[in-house]
Amino acid sequence: MSTNTYIEGIKANVERNSSEDLSILWAEDTNIQKWNNLDSSEIQLLVEETIELLAIAIDKNLLVGLPFNYLNGINNSLNNFNSQFQSVKGLQQNQLRNQHHNPLNQINSVNSSIRNSGLYSLIKLSPDIPETDKLIQQQLVNINARKEELDKLTTQVRTLLSPAVADRLSTAFSKRKEHIFWQKISWLALVIISIGTAIYYTSDVTNTITELINPVEKSGKVDDSTTIGIIWILRLLILFPIYYVVFFAIKQYSKERKLEEVYAHKSAIAETLPSYPELLTEKSVGDQITSEAASVIFSPAEKETEKKERGKNYKIEDIKELIDVATKVSKTIE
């Protein structure tokens, strides 16, 4: 008889016993002789635990690993239990003496086989083996997927380390830097023109407003403080568009200058990137520097400019530079 036949027999017996009312085996009555001097609660625990352990073993497919002698013993004991229980289950409690001892002996034999074979430890003391195996398989799939992504990234980095690719990247960044340089010059020219225009019109508008208000002052209808207030309000209203253009041009000039620096930095890194692993004897350090250099190359230029805008000193330097330009322009106009 094959082990599968034993397993199928055990499954059939467990299903049958699970549907039976086994309470007669732990009934209490003055005429009932105690089995092995155990209380009814202890007998109930033995019977229910044995059936439950077998049900769990079947559900988790743990019977497959048991030796055939244990499977044979468990199956025979269950068969004997079923045949002996048939003569007991129809009795009333007051009719029961020791007829239930034989079926309980068979249940006890099954329980002993479960414990001696190690099946009890697998069920009670070990983790959920099928579920754990399923989780392990899922993690292995995820690890393999990550490994494929890592291999692709490694290939891309090695391709990036090629001198030809690095040269093309450096050339592309240099062209972009040159284009931004001429944009920066355009904005610088607009800054100079707008500052000169603002200085000129500031003086001209002030004189014009003053001349318009002088007749009112001479008539004695407006005092000096009111005159000054009116002059400033009119100056702000008239000159606001001009000064807006000035500050907008300054902001754009500053932005273009920072972009030029970023692309110059990217070009320099791309040009020297193939040399990093060769210059460093420790491979891990070289890989780390190469990875950081690659992140600088492929990070958007806007992010680099945002980092610089969060700095503390660059705005002061820009303002000083533009103040110098404005001073030279104002001297030229005077």
pLDDT tops 60 at residue 323: no
pLDDT tops 60 at residue 220: no
pTM metric for this prediction: 0.42
Range of weakest confidence among 127-131, 138-142, 323-327: 323-327
Range of weakest confidence among 161-165, 174-178, 205-209, 270-274: 161-165
Instruction: Name the DSSP class of 62.
Output: -
Q: Is 229 found in the same domain as 280?
A: yes
Last residue of a domain, one of 102, 126, 150: 126
Quote the pLDDT of residue 190. Answer: 83
Please report whether residue 75 resides in a domain: yes
Last residue of a domain, one of 98, 126, 154: 126
pLDDT tops 50 at residue 333: no
Of the pLDDT bands very low, low, confident and very high (cuts 50, 70, 90), residue 217 is very low
Of the pLDDT bands very low, low, confident and very high (cuts 50, 70, 90), residue 51 is very high
Helix axes of 101-116 and 40-59: crossing angle, nearest 10 degrees: 50
CA distances from 133 to 56, 64, 137, 299 (A): 17, 16, 6, 41
Instruction: Tell me which residue has tokens 């086989």.
Output: 113
Report, as an integer, the average pLDDT of 170-194. 80
Quote the pLDDT of residue 94. Answer: 84
Helix axes of 283-298 and 224-272: crossing angle, nearest 10 degrees: 130
Q: Is 327 found in the same domain as 234?
A: yes
Please report whether residue 171 resides in a domain: yes
Q: Is 177 found in the same domain as 29?
A: no
Report, as an integer, the average pLDDT of 38-47. 92
Please report whether residue 40 resides in a domain: yes
pLDDT tops 60 at residue 227: no
Please report whether residue 306 resides in a domain: yes
Q: Is 183 found in the same domain as 287?
A: yes
Q: Is 48 found in the same domain as 101?
A: yes
Of the pLDDT bands very low, low, confident and very high (cuts 50, 70, 90), residue 226 is low
Please report whether residue 110 resides in a domain: yes
Q: Is 108 found in the same domain as 220?
A: no
Q: Is 168 found in the same domain as 94?
A: no
pLDDT tops 50 at residue 146: yes
Quote the pLDDT of residue 180. Answer: 78
Please report whether residue 307 resides in a domain: yes
Report, as an integer, the average pLDDT of 41-47. 93
Range of weakest confidence among 109-123, 176-190, 202-216, 250-264: 202-216
Q: Is 313 found in the same domain as 220?
A: yes
Report, as an integer, the average pLDDT of 119-135. 73
Q: Is 118 found in the same domain as 39?
A: yes
Domain that holds residue 212: 162-333
Please report whether residue 135 resides in a domain: no
Report, as an integer, the average pLDDT of 215-241. 59
pLDDT tops 70 at residue 332: no
In the chain, what percentage of residues exceed pLDDT 70? 61
Please report whether residue 132 resides in a domain: no
Q: Compare 93 and 22 and report the one with higher pLDDT.
A: 22
SS3 of residue 87 by DSSP: coil
Q: Is 116 found in the same domain as 177?
A: no
Q: Is 173 found in the same domain as 111?
A: no
Quote the pLDDT of residue 15. Answer: 92
CA dist 230 and 199 (Å) reads 20
Last residue of a domain, one of 126, 151, 178: 126
User: What single string gives the DSSP state of each residue in 100-119?
Assistant: THHHHHHHHHHHHHHHHTTH
Segments in 101-223 forming alpha helices (H): 101-116, 119-124, 129-160, 163-218
Q: Is 293 found in the same domain as 227?
A: yes
Please tell me the total count of domains within the chain: 2
Quote the pLDDT of residue 142. Answer: 84
